[in-house]
Amino acid sequence: MATFSYKAIDASGQAIADRLVAADRAAAIEQLCAKSLSPVSVERMEDQQPEGLLARVGGVSKGEIDAFTRQLASLLAAGVPMSRALAILSREASRIGANRLWAAVHDQVSGGMSLADAMGLHPRVFSPIYVAMVRAGETGGFLDLVLEQIATFRSRERDLKGRVKAALIYPIILAVLAAGILVFLLTYFIPRFSTMFAEFGGSLPVLTLTIVAVSKIMLRYWLVLALGITLGVFAVQRMLAREEGRRAMDSLLLRMPLFGVAMARFALVRFCRMLGTLVGAGVPLIAALRVAKEAIGNQVLADTVSSATESVQKGNPLARSLERCRLLFPASVIEMISVAEESGRLDDELIRLAGTYESDLDRHLKMMVALAEPLLLFVMAGLVGTVVIGMLLPIFNLQELVR
């Protein structure tokens, strides 16, 4: 399906300019003739044109998508027809990017496409998870409820990511500050002491000589060092762009003390909340597992869910299929999922587990930060203290150097 802009003359001789959705140009002309319109021009619009425009004007923010989702849910719940609701949201959009995108979705739905198919044409804005839930809501006849679930899910996801980022800010600031102080000492402070030591002559302590040598290397080969760091970053990015590289990096991160557990808990929370929301929205379990797998954010853990999906397809229970990965799914989680399957309330239990382990993740992150702060301060003090002591050692032997 594609969107076409057209100009036509109606039976009364009035000129009309609008858009419609059709399989091709010939089908678009047939639609116009069926409406007793005489086409003057029919031109195809690129399916991704709204996104191209969005890239130029700054795109559609996550807040605008959330607001669109909640408002559309409210309008549909109030009995407003889909086409009219989309037209209202398009008209009320404050930014040109959102206005154009909502208008494009409206035109595609008015042309006969389902809302899920229309949203699927804009994958940069509407994720596969979003589209899958909308499709389930349209099929089951409870689209307004699904849209409200999507908005709630996106809000909880944003809050969770915000807490993780907030927990990491202070340790990152300390690490950057330590690196900056160390570079300052080696490139500005040490060279001036080196000149003074050279004037005195005599032998210097090994620690002082080592620090001075490192300082000279940084000053003399700073361009090579900068180029090496740049190439290293580029190499890591290239590695992470490949599936094998991401799998190797994710496996390494999972083995790190404390951090690996935090990653596994974060993945568990996202997986349970997404799977519970999808199942509650009426998405079939196999399709829901495939979509929820993308929310894990770790290739190694996602591979275990892929294996579990294949096991469920063969008729095995979900709980028994997930128990192969104890790092992602502890024994207690497996048992609770098993009981929920037997009682027919899998979606509610998954949402409850997501909330429970989200609180556990918060506590784990606070403990990590509490441990990281003194550790980073100790490392920073050790590095700076080593440099300062290395520069002060010759001063303690100043009389010997003068003689």
What pLDDT, on a 0 to 100 scale, did the predictor assign at position 198?
Answer: 65
- Indicate if the alpha-carbon torsion angle 18, 113, 110, 98 is positive or negative: negative
What pLDDT, on a 0 to 100 scale, did the predictor assign at position 281?
Answer: 73
What pLDDT, on a 0 to 100 scale, did the predictor assign at position 373?
Answer: 77
Percent of the chain with pLDDT over 70: 89
Q: What is the DSSP letter of 46?
A: P
| CATH class entry, domain 142-403 | mainly alpha
Please give the model's pTM, rounded to 2 decimal places: 0.61
What pLDDT, on a 0 to 100 scale, did the predictor assign at position 199?
Answer: 64
Which comes out higher in pLDDT, residue 126 or 25? 126
Structure tokens at 375: 């550790």
Q: How far apart, in whole angstroms, are the C-alpha atoms of residue 102 and residue 56? A: 17
Q: How far apart, in whole angstroms, are the C-alpha atoms of residue 97 and residue 55? A: 9
Does 324 score more than 80 pLDDT? no
Half-sphere exposure (CA, 13 Å, Cβ side) for 37? Answer: 20
Q: How far apart, in whole angstroms, are the C-alpha atoms of residue 189 and residue 76? A: 67
What pLDDT, on a 0 to 100 scale, did the predictor assign at position 183?
Answer: 84
Does 96 score more than 60 pLDDT? yes
- Please, which pLDDT band fits residue 209 given cuts at 50, 70 and 90? confident
What pLDDT, on a 0 to 100 scale, did the predictor assign at position 109?
Answer: 85
Structural domain boundaries of the chain? 2-45, 51-126, 142-403
What pLDDT, on a 0 to 100 scale, did the predictor assign at position 54?
Answer: 41
Q: How far apart, in whole angstroms, are the C-alpha atoms of residue 103 and residue 305? A: 38
Classified as helix, coil or strand, 237 is helix
Residue with tokens 């229970």: 317
Q: How far apart, in whole angstroms, are the C-alpha atoms of residue 16 and residue 125? A: 31
Average pLDDT over residues 342-348: 85
Beta-carbon neighbour count of residue 275 at 10 Å? 27
Task: Decide if 10 contacts 30 (C-beta within 8 A).
Answer: no
Q: How far apart, in whole angstroms, are the C-alpha atoms of residue 389 and residue 49? A: 63
What pLDDT, on a 0 to 100 scale, did the predictor assign at position 166?
Answer: 79
Q: How far apart, in whole angstroms, are the C-alpha atoms of residue 262 and residue 358? A: 10
Does 95 score more than 70 pLDDT? yes
| CATH class entry, domain 51-126 | mainly alpha
Structure tokens at 368: 């990590």
DSSP symbols for 4-28: EEEEEE-TTS-EEEEEEEESSHHHH
What pLDDT, on a 0 to 100 scale, did the predictor assign at position 47?
Answer: 43
What pLDDT, on a 0 to 100 scale, did the predictor assign at position 210?
Answer: 85
Return the amino acid letter for 208: T
Separation in Å, CA 358 to CA 262, 338, 353, 354 = 10, 20, 8, 6
Check for a shared fold between 51-126 and 142-403: yes
What do you get for the CA distance between the two ends of the chain, in Å?
91
Percent of the chain with pLDDT over 90: 0
Q: What is the pLDDT of residues 325-340, one digit of tens each?
A: 777 788 888 889 888 8
Which comes out higher in pLDDT, residue 139 or 402? 139
Q: Which of 52-66, 297-311, 353-367 has the lowest average pLDDT?
A: 52-66
What pLDDT, on a 0 to 100 scale, did the predictor assign at position 8?
Answer: 77
Torsion of CA 114, 68, 146, 291, to 10 degrees: 80
Does 271 score more than 80 pLDDT? yes
Q: What is the pLDDT of residues 172-190, one digit of tens each?
A: 888 888 888 888 888 887 7
What pLDDT, on a 0 to 100 scale, did the predictor assign at position 53?
Answer: 41
Classified as helix, coil or strand, 135 is helix
Does 37 score more than 50 pLDDT? yes
Using CB atoms within 10 Å of the CB of residue 401, give its burial: 0 to 12 exposed, 13 to 18 middle, 19+ buried. Answer: middle
Q: Rounded mean pLDDT of the chain? A: 79
Q: How far apart, in whole angstroms, are the C-alpha atoms of residue 302 and residue 247? A: 10
Task: Decide if 101 contacts 54 (C-beta within 8 A).
Answer: yes
